[in-house]
Amino acid sequence: MTASVTDATFADEVLASDIPVLVDFWAEWCGPCHRIAPVLDELATEYEGRLRIVKLDADNNPQTARAYNIMSMPTLTVFRNGEVVSQVVGAHPKSKLRAQIEEVLVNS
């Protein structure tokens, strides 16, 4: 299951994480965001202990969304050691998301 982060918790939960974190920048009004949510929940379970998946509501947390120039949703950004290492924009099939995650984990 994915967890939620906010502007207030982003640094501790994402940037300071000892494992890579995929952040789903989403919004309530975004249809594709809702469509990929179950896929992200499945991937969170599949990669538990190796990668965390968290959600950040960009409308309710504009500071973080602005800091990372999030212009479209969903934007899936992987952070490792506090740095952006991978990013995809839009809803993609599970296979593409898995490939994004695998690439990050192989290069860790």
Structural domains in the chain plus CATH codes: 3-106 (3.40.30.10)
Q: What is the pLDDT of residues 5-35, one digit of tens each?
A: 999 999 999 999 999 999 999 999 999 999 9
Whether the predicted pLDDT of 95 surpasses 90: yes
Other Cβ atoms closer than 10 A to 39: 15
pTM of the model as a whole:
0.96
Q: Which residue has the tokens 């179950």?
A: 38
pLDDT, tens digit (0-9, with 9 covering 90-100), for 52-61 = 999 999 999 9
Q: How far apart (Å, rounded) are the C-alpha atoms in residues 25 and 45?
A: 19
E strand spans, 1-108: 3-4, 21-26, 52-57, 75-80, 83-89
**Residues catalogued as catalytic:** 30, 33
